[in-house]
Amino acid sequence: MATRRRFLTSLLAASALPTLSWADAGNPRYLAAAREPDGGYALFGLGEDGQDRFRVPLPARGHAAAGHPHRPLAVAFARRPGTYALVIDCVDGHVLHRLYLPEGRRFNGHGAFSAGGEVLYTSEIDAATGAGVIGLWDTGRAFRRTGEWASFGIGPHEIARLPGSDLLVVANGGIRTALDDGRSKLNLDSMVPNLSYLGAGGGLLDQITLPPDLHQNSIRHLALRRDGLVAFAMQSEDPAALSVPLLGLHRRGESAILAAAPEVLQMRMKGYAGSIAFSGDGARVALTSPPGGVVSVFDAAGTFQQTLSRADVSGIGPAGQGFVTTDGMGGLCSIAQDGLVPLTAAPRAWDNHLVTLPV
């Protein structure tokens, strides 16, 4: 009886504890990794004003992160192909868990939470075959790995959850990399990148591939609008194809729209789109190109609007009715109707992505 009483007492006490939210971490709007002046790395939470909300050291270079939909937890991923993924308490900065992959697997830089936050999905590759894998991790059991799904392609990179559902969209880049360094590309002549939609049980619901003349356009990064419109950013592996489309727009059950800027402006992107985002009002979509030092802006139907210059610009996210960007010089800039405007600068080099947290 005493044991049962103690159990009930502890259960009631636990249920009375306050549930922490992102407000307890300073209400960050974005997550971004950076290299600091001493050569170390950290994950930052940023407000929409560009100011730091928190900083957590990382053991090596970071790539992207995934924010829990309700709790102030973030999972920071190593630059692909990476070996670390850290579950971070964004209130006090503690690393709560480190995710360990099965033998022969590598993280590929991105992840996403289920709608309720019970499951973390991670993009992975089988190092021996290059086959894509989506790892499943139970957040209620200390992020224990509970299974995996096929990504239905080679080299999955970014994965995202369709708004209002637990359906996933996967950017299968199509590139198989070498076992020894994970970055040497082995199959450029036979690449078949695709965009795949997975159901709640991991089954393939829909898939699109690119036209044969664009098979070397690796589908890499994703932006999702609230109504389910998917925008995807590509990187060309054909060094001679500098004016190919790098933006795709797709809705399940329909054909994809491939969009490019006028040729002379498209060539400034050097065949490389780094990140992608819809504007805060969903009316526009923008691509960054770090090697080109430009942001290309389109409307949501794929019609080109403008190109803006910013050296080493890479991360991009929604802000107000426009966008906010990060760059390798530590700058944050806003993009509204009047162009690109610097907001803040910090002594750090922002890495590839600016991840938007749930509002």
pLDDT bin (cut points 50, 70, 90) of residue 4 is low
Look at residue 220 and tell me whether its pLDDT is greater than 70: yes
Mean pLDDT value of segment 324-334: 97
Residue 348's alpha-carbon distances to 207, 304, 326, in angstroms, are 39, 32, 11
Mean pLDDT for the stretch of residues 136-143: 97
In this structure, is residue 328 part of a structural domain? no
Segment 266-283 mean pLDDT? 96
**By the 8 A CB rule, do 154 and 192 touch?**
yes
What pLDDT is recorded for position 7? 47
Q: Is the pLDDT of residue 146 over 80?
A: yes
66, 112 contact by CB (below 8 A): yes
Question: How much is the pTM?
Answer: 0.93
Instruction: Give, rounded to a whole angstrom, the gap between the first and last alpha carbons of the chain.
Output: 46
Q: By the 8 A CB rule, do 133 and 151 touch? A: yes
Asked if 266 and 191 touch (Cβ cutoff 8 Å), the reply is: no
66 within some domain: yes
Residue 61 is predicted with a pLDDT of 94
- Has residue 59 been placed in a domain? yes
- CATH code of the domain in which 29 resides: 2.130.10.10
Per-residue pLDDT, 1: 46
Q: Average per-residue pLDDT in the chain?
A: 92
Within a domain: 304: no
Question: What count of other Cβ atoms lies within 10 Å of the Cβ of residue 344?
Answer: 15
Q: What's the full length of the chain, in residues?
A: 359
Q: Could you tell me if residue 249 is inside a domain?
A: yes
Query: In this model, does residue 13 exceed pLDDT 90?
Result: no
Domain count, the chain: 1
Residue 36 belongs to domain spanning: 19-275
Residue 350 belongs to a domain: no
Chain segment 275-309, per-residue pLDDT in tens: 999 999 999 999 999 999 999 999 999 999 999 99
**Residue 296 within a domain:** no
E strand or H helix at 231: strand 230-236
What average pLDDT score do residues 310-339 get?
A: 95
Answer whether residue 12 is part of any domain. Answer: no
pLDDT band of 18, cuts 50, 70, 90: low
